[in-house]
Every structure is written in structure tokens, then in C-alpha cells.
Amino acid sequence: MKKAIIIGGGVAGFTAGIYLRANGYDTLILEKNAVAGGACIGWERQGCYIDGCIHWLAGSNPSSPTYKIWRDTHAITHETKFFEQDDLMKMRHSDGTEFIYWTDLNKLEKELLALAPEDKKEIKRFIKLVRRFQKIDPPIDKPMELMNLFDLLKLAFTQGGDLYWVNKFSKLSARDYVQRFKNPYIRDAVQDLIAPHYNFMSLLYMLGHISGGDGGVPRGGSLAMIERMEKRYLDLGGRIRKGTLVTKINVENNVAKGVTLRNGEVLEADWVVATTPVEHTLVNLLENKYRNKEMDERLASVRNYPIYTYTTTVFKCPRRLADKSLSIKLRLSTPITINRPYSHVTFRNYIYDDSLKGSDEYCVIQATIHSDDDMFHWWNGVKAGGRYKQEKQRVAEEMLAIAKTLYPDVADELEVIDVVTPCTYQRYLNSRHGSFQGFIHTKRGKSLMQNGRIKGLKGFILAGQWIIQSGGLPAAGMSGRFAAQRICYTDKKKFKDF
Ligand SMILES: Cc1cc2nc3c(=O)[nH]c(=O)nc-3n(C[C@H](O)[C@H](O)[C@H](O)COP(=O)(O)OP(=O)(O)OC[C@H]3O[C@@H](n4cnc5c(N)ncnc54)[C@H](O)[C@@H]3O)c2cc1C
């Protein structure tokens, strides 16, 4: 039986492991943290469960192609219940003007028209576009390079038209797009749903899927989802070692032969699959000896390929809130300064899932400021200067003051229970600049579907969210499935699907 070592016990690692087990490989996942999950995780503070991931899961709807991966890996089982959001987000402007992102597109259209009747024509166009994107999915069945003529023709026939829309709106940022609206509130409302420099296609994809019923949040949260995947993997006979840091991928004559662990232990394998963040894989684990053109291009240009970071303050609220909105994005009249002034904070309350630990007594609220590489560099500098704890406390206090104005009925009872920064993610995941997702898809960047191979290196496959633009859970799952298919192909084995 051929042996595969998979570095990383996140969504991509388990997905690769599950499909490789189904194809008769002896698999060992090596995960550096004590708990599996990577970016798909949840943790506990003061008796409360803090969910660290899923805001929406593309592939939660059985009609979505990605659903198959989630069912095969038990990320979703027939018992999994979903929270389907009615309102994706409430936007509150600093002057009090409010706008709700309904997931029902008819309601959303009405809301937009009430806000900006002068933009009627553009609003109708926007809603039409979102509807168009409800049906656009990435090809998840197999990687392009393994498709035969029949597969390619089928793809061209069924999804060829989608490419036009994907390409067209990939070259436009959300900020550029909103210039066609006259009304300033609507410009803000549309671009603020996502980072304004993200390409507009990503926004359409997200809105399309959620409004099309393919963005449910599984009850039990991210940790429960990863636990189901881990169980599935173990039930299939897969092995995992947690708390096991890989320091090197061992290569002999340009063939990956296994890995070296932090304790010096050497493990041998016929295949090494790295689901670790790609910069860490190339620079640290492969010691910069093997390069990949597509990745080099991305790593070299922060401008064209920025990453997504955030600083989150987590609050414990002793009782249920009067305002039931799931997410509120506030535009602040007085910005809060981290590495630079930020005028947006997104509050999300977890009241919707009463199966989460502590939810019978407390409600958890997370307040997040999204940013890019610069926020990481700033926190990193603060850490190096010995002021990390102090600055976290300052930010937490400022966020608490904002939270008190948003939730006046519980103002005196809100308690800060955690602060998460890009440094948290860098330490926890080994990710580039503390990112929790792959490279952002900007209008200047090229789309990415890396083929998992590193030129000149055999016995090795790259996987994980960093090889498919712009990362996220479907990209992680897809990359894990593709890794197994690529290995089977090279070993001349017919891929056995579930
Ligand atoms: C707050 C937040 C919200 C999110 N919301 C969504 C959402 O709503 N929808 C969505 O689709 N996606 C969302 N994501 C993104 C999603 O979580 C990730 O895309 C996905 O989990 C990535 O999985 P992965 O397996 O590719 O990578 P990772 O999760 O990064 O897994 C890689 C693993 O490798 C391990 N590792 C690293 N270095 C080593 C080493 N040297 N040795 C051993 N192990 C190592 C890490 O510990 C990690 O477990 C969110 C993420 C966050 C943080």
C-alpha cells in the first residue's frame, strides 16, 4: 500500500485524506496544532464558544456541485441543519441611515429602490446580475488537466457562458462598479459588503450563492463541521498526529521522500501533500529550493495580490439582545485607529445558533475590522516592540465603547473575552501576513487554479486554499479532492469516487 503524508489537518487536509483512503492509500495527517481544523475552527473562552469561521458555506445546497464534496467528507451529513439567513447584513451609516441586505432578491431590490429611486435602472441591472451568479459554480468534478475531450466539451456546453461573466467582472473592482450609481448610500452599501478593492465578480458570487439558497451556516458551527470530517477520515482508517510540526519536506534527487518533524523524527512516504499556506511550504518546508511561477508572481506583488486580515474583539453578552440583526456594519463618525484609521466595524452576533456551547446563558458578539497586509505588519511591529498586550487592550476598549452604543440595553454587561489579530493567524496557521484566506482576487491580479505540481519535484502535491483564487472552504475542499485525483492519475490508478 502506498503511503501519503498530508501536512495540515484543515479542510483541505481531511478532504485529501478521505479521498486518498477511498483509493487505498495509507494516509497520515500531520497537524501542528493540538486541535485539527486550521482556519475552520472554534474555541472556548469563559464558558462561551467562539466560532472562528463559517459565515456562509457555498455547497450547502444539494443542487450545488460542491455539495458532493461536503457530503463525501461528512462536512455535511443528512442530519446537518442549516441556518439560512434572511438578512445578510444591516449597514448603518454614521448619519443613522440604514439599509438591509436581504437575501431574498425581490426584497433587496425594493430596499435598494427605496434608498435610491434615482438609480432604478442600475439597481435592476445589479439584481439581474446577482441572479445570473446564483447559477455559476467552479468545476469541482476533476482538475482541468485531467479532463478528457468529452469532459471539456461538457464543461464548455454547460458552463462556457459563465466564463464571459466571470472574466468581465474579474477585471472590475467593487469600488469601480459602484461608480455607476448616483446615490452615495447605495455606492457605500454595495462596495462595503466586501473589501472595495476585491473584484466585483467575488461580490456577485457571494451574493448570488447566498441569495440562491447556497450559503447556509451549519448548526454547531465550524468546530462541529471539522469534527465530522475528522471522524469520517478516522472511520475510513486514516491516521492523524496532532501537535506535530513539520519543519522540512525531505527531497532526494528531486523526489519528495517524506518529512522531518520538529523533534528531529524523519517520516518516509511515497507522496507528500502540503495543504499548508503556500509561502510557508515553498520558503520554509522546501527551503526555497523549488519555485513555482504562479506563486512567485503572487508573492512578489502585494499590490496585485494582497491578502485579507482582520482584528476582532469578542464580547460575552449575558442575555439576548433586542436587536436581532445577525450582522451590522457600522460606518463610524469617529474612526478607530489600528495601523491606520478605520471607519467600518462589522458586528456579528451568534444568537442564531442555540446549539453552541454557552448559548443558553450567553450570547457571543464579534466586532471585526477588516484590512490587508499592512495591518499584519503593524501588529507584528507592535509585538516586536513589546506592546502587543497593551495595544490589544486599547483596541478592545475602543471597540467596547462602540459596542455599548450599538447595544444600549446591555451596555453595562458586555465583557471583552478575546481579541484576535493577524498575528494570531500567523502563529496558528503559519499563514502569509496573518491571512485566513488565500490571495485576494483584485482587478489587477490574474485568476488562479494552480495544478498542484511544482516543476522538477516528484512525489509532491500542493493543495489547500492558497492554490485556488481567493481561497475559502470550497477552494480548500476542491484542492483536497484534486490532490487525491492527481496522485491516482500519476500512479495510474482509476480514481474511485464515493
Ligand atoms: C474568521 C474566518 C471566517 C471565515 N469565513 C469563511 C466563510 O464564511 N466561508 C468560507 O468559505 N470560508 C471562510 N473562511 C476561510 C476558511 O476557513 C478557509 O478557507 C479554510 O478553512 C482553509 O482550509 P485549508 O485546509 O486550505 O487551510 P488551513 O485551514 O490553513 O489548514 C492548513 C493547516 O496546516 C497546519 N500547518 C501549518 N504549518 C504546518 C506545519 N509546518 N506542520 C504541520 N501543520 C502545519 C495549520 O495548523 C492548519 O491546520 C473563514 C476563515 C476565517 C478565519
CATH number of 462's domain: 3.50.50.60
39 lines ligand 1 (CB under 6 A): yes
- Nearest atom in ligand 1 to the alpha carbon of residue 222 is 17
Ligand 1 centroid–CA 362 distance in Å is 27
Domain co-membership, 245 together with 207: no
What are the pLDDT digits (tens) for 319-372? 877 666 789 999 999 999 999 999 999 999 998 888 998 888 889 999 999 999
Instruction: Point out which residues pair with 108 in neighbouring strands.
Output: none
Domain co-membership, 237 together with 338: no
Domain co-membership, 275 together with 354: no
Position 62 in a domain: yes
Domain co-membership, 237 together with 287: yes
245 lines ligand 1 (CB under 6 A): yes
Domain co-membership, 195 together with 226: no
8 lines ligand 1 (CB under 6 A): yes
Position 101, amino acid: Y
Closest C-alpha to 466, from 454, 448, 453: 448
User: What's the mean per-residue pLDDT of the chain?
Assistant: 94
Q: Is the pLDDT of residue 275 over 80?
A: yes
Position 97 in a domain: no
Position 453 in a domain: yes
Domain co-membership, 364 together with 292: no
Domain that holds residue 15: 3-39+55-79+221-302+442-490
Mutate to test the pocket of ligand 1, among 436, 468, 470 (most ligand atoms within 8 A of CB): 436
pTM: 0.96
**35: Cα separation from own chain's centroid:** 18
Do residues 13 and 480 make contact, with C-beta atoms less than 8 angstroms apart?
yes
Closest C-alpha to 226, from 372, 402, 33, 432: 33
Number of domains in the chain: 3
What whole-number distance in Å separates Cα of residue 373 and Cα of residue 383? 16
Ligand 1 centroid–CA 158 distance in Å is 31
Position 90 in a domain: no
Ligand 1 centroid–CA 156 distance in Å is 32
Position 353 in a domain: yes
Domain final position from 434, 452, 473: 434
308 lines ligand 1 (CB under 6 A): no
What are the pLDDT digits (tens) for 19-42? 999 999 999 999 999 999 999 999
What whole-number distance in Å separates Cα of residue 471 and Cα of residue 336? 28
Do residues 216 and 82 make contact, with C-beta atoms less than 8 angstroms apart?
yes
Position 498 in a domain: no
Do residues 427 and 324 make contact, with C-beta atoms less than 8 angstroms apart?
no
Domain co-membership, 421 together with 330: yes
Domain final position from 212, 236, 266: 212
What whole-number distance in Å separates Cα of residue 380 and Cα of residue 425? 12
Give how far Cα 378 sits from Cα of 74, 310, 311, 338, 375, Å.
39, 12, 11, 8, 5
Any idea how long the chain is? 498
What are the pLDDT digits (tens) for 244-253? 999 999 999 9
Q: What does the buried/exposed string (b/e) look like for 451-463 if buried means 16 or more CB atoms within 10 Å of the residue's CB?
A: bbebeebebbbbb
What whole-number distance in Å separates Cα of residue 477 and Cα of residue 14? 8
Ligand 1 centroid–CA 147 distance in Å is 28
Domain co-membership, 318 together with 430: yes
Domain final position from 212, 246, 273: 212
Ligand 1 centroid–CA 436 distance in Å is 6
Domain co-membership, 158 together with 180: yes
Mean pLDDT of 479-488: 98
Under the banding of pLDDT at 50, 70 and 90, the label for residue 84 is confident
What whole-number distance in Å separates Cα of residue 464 and Cα of residue 432? 13
Position 252 in a domain: yes
Domain co-membership, 336 together with 361: yes
- Nearest atom in ligand 1 to the alpha carbon of residue 36 is 49
What are the pLDDT digits (tens) for 200-220? 998 999 999 999 999 999 999
Calculate ∠ Cα 390-391-396, nearest 5°. Answer: 100
Closest C-alpha to 377, from 435, 326, 333: 435
Percent residues over pLDDT 90 in the chain? 81
Minimal-distance CA residue to ligand 1 atom 2 = 53
Quick one: cell of 3? 503511503
Domain co-membership, 409 together with 337: yes
Position 84 in a domain: no
DSSP state of 446: P
Domain co-membership, 207 together with 226: no
Quick one: cell of 61? 445546497
441 lines ligand 1 (CB under 6 A): no
Mean pLDDT of 242-266: 98
